[in-house]
């Protein structure tokens, strides 16, 4: 099929010149749009990665804060108090 098409184009190149130029223009436009989309995707990927990194760091910080508050509450309420294990009965 391609060989037959190539022979037809070679034989009547002038006849198809306008169509060839139009197709070349369309291919160039599609290529330009494709490059533009890829560049925007790369920018978006970087933005999303930065956003999720910040959110993960924030979650870690909130967990540390909550744990610290809970540990403080436990120590102040006496729940974590362990009485001495050895008694000195000397008097």
pLDDT in tens, 25-77: 999 999 999 999 999 999 999 999 999 999 999 998 989 998 888 888 887 77
Q: Where are the domains of the chain?
A: 26-69
How far, CA to CA in Å, does 6 sit from each of 20, 22, 42, 48? 13, 18, 39, 47
How far, CA to CA in Å, does 61 sit from each of 49, 57, 68? 18, 6, 11
Residue 81 DSSP SS3: coil
Query: 40 or 13, which is more confident?
Result: 40
């Amino acid at each position: 099929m391609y060989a037959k098409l190539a022979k037809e184009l070679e034989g009547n190149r002038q006849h198809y010149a306008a169509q060839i130029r139009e197709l070349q223009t369309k291919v160039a436009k599609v290529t330009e749009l494709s490059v533009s989309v890829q560049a925007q995707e790369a920018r978006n990927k970087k933005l999303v990665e930065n956003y999720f990194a910040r959110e993960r760091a924030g979650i870690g910080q909130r967990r540390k804060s909550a744990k610290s508050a809970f540990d403080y509450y436990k120590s102040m309420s006496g729940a974590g108090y362990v009485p001495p294990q050895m008694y000195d009965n000397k008097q």
